[in-house]
Structure 1
């Protein structure tokens, strides 16, 4: 039992550290890792991931505020509101998928396939970003709708939205990698808060096996502190490399989960 708790603590710690540095959030790592371990069902994994990522985002934002890092207030706030709204829809879509399919493995395959494709598209965008025209959106409705789509997809996949946020912030608002990272964490904070609140007011938490939650949240808090400390000390190029290598690892993890659950 001790070894198991250490493993789950380390998952929360490592995912949150990388997530805080690169703006990934951590959920995009936690989700496929827990799918690969196979101990919990997809709904429970969503709760464990959301709580861990929320704790990481809380610590990261506090640390960023103290170090003087700024959020692009209006745009990120509108994206966050849109993400919260979309997150509600994504949650319902996920609940519908679970209720309409008895095969948990097939649900994992569907999510892993969508994740792998999305991560590959984002990988290509990051690798060729200098050749791609970026924008600076000003229309409030369009910004809200972008956040809505991000929230829907992230909630349905149970990932928190980190890489999607990073890519959209770079593409739609011409943010550099450091600006994208902190603004991504800001959006993730609200999206995960709404996800947890929605669960609390609908099904509640009693139906889930959350025995490892405390260890993962502890890892999320420490990881958020470590990651947010590093982000102010390393260059944009280094953050970019961490982001790219993380994407490659996430793609491989999801391909493994697809093959594992189809065999």
Structure 2
């Protein structure tokens, strides 16, 4: 029996659904655990290989911006006990924006100007896997480690700058790095760190997209999936935040650790795949 729908159309429908599911699930996890979503979207889009690295960065940033916007709106109208330290988070965001510009410049230089797309992708996957492994060990041992409370504004901005540089170069939005820094350097619990991370992510992703809009524009990017992924980001942000405000610190931490472990395995697979193919 033959399908009434041509195969190529069926294939496109499957791809649309796939990218909607990716953005939705990443945004739900991102909103629940403060991951942002980019750290999940980036390696998954690398895995499927439908887009080049610059396009993946734009799609990820747009999805994460949609998620963080809806998450913050939901938090502002809910009666949750979420605590967002706007002074610290805004200073981190300020540093993150500056660092993000530098990180994107370095990324564009290697990936676009020098044409080292494969080498850059390999470096991103290896670095991300190593960073996330360190973060996982930190979270498993954090109760035995000392935390700090930095108050010097310049130091806070410099921490944000480092976060922004790494996040922009790796194309991940910075979520897990933000959460770890907020716990280690500002003694926040996991739940509050997750909400503050989303606050920081909103500004960093907004600035990243504005930078592209004001410089190269979006004409060189394949944004055919942008509408589906932004839709997933909006719905995921609402669902994830609604879940997060009802969860305990302990449960959020377990979800965070499980998500980090999954992302490590995806990145390791991408590393092996890149080496085998090239």
Q: What range is the shorter-chain TM-score in?
A: over 0.9
Q: What's the TM-score once normalised by structure 1's chain length?
A: 0.98
Match of 1:59 in 2: 70
> What are the within-5 Å matches in structure 2 for residues 25-36 of structure 1?
25-36=36-47
Backbone CA RMSD of aligned residues: 0.8
Residue 21 (structure 2) pairs with residue 10 (structure 1): yes
Gaps of 5+ in 1: none
Contact kept, 8 Å, 1:115 with 1:157, in 2: the verdict is yes
Match of 2:149 in 1: 136
For residues 102 and 227 of structure 1, the distance between their equivalents in structure 2, rounded to whole angstroms, comes to: 38
Gaps of 5+ in 2: 1-11
Cα deviation per residue 1:191-220 (whole Å; 9 max; x = unaligned)?
Answer: 000000000011100111000000000000
Contact kept, 8 Å, 1:30 with 1:49, in 2: the verdict is yes
Cα deviation per residue 1:148-205 (whole Å; 9 max; x = unaligned)?
Answer: 1000110011000000000000000000010000000000000000000000011100
Residue 251 (structure 2) pairs with residue 213 (structure 1): no
Match of 2:93 in 1: 80
Q: Could you tell which deviates more after superposition, 105-114 or 121-130?
A: 105-114
Give the counterpart of 1:155 among 168, 184, 187: 168
Residue 149 (structure 2) pairs with residue 146 (structure 1): no
For residues 176 and 163 of structure 2, the distance between their equivalents in structure 1, rounded to whole angstroms, comes to: 10
Cα deviation per residue 1:211-237 (whole Å; 9 max; x = unaligned)?
Answer: 000000000000000000001111111
Q: What's the TM-score once normalised by structure 2's chain length?
A: 0.93
Deviation at 1:72, TM superposition (A): 0.4
Structure 1 residue runs of 4+, over 4 Å off?
Answer: none
Contact kept, 8 Å, 1:105 with 1:262, in 2: the verdict is no
Name which one, 1 or 2, has greater alpha-carbon Rg.
2
Cα deviation per residue 1:11-60 (whole Å; 9 max; x = unaligned)?
Answer: 00000000000000000000000000011000000000000000000000
For residues 102 and 198 of structure 1, the distance between their equivalents in structure 2, rounded to whole angstroms, comes to: 21
> What are the within-5 Å matches in structure 2 for residues 160-175 of structure 1?
160-175=173-188
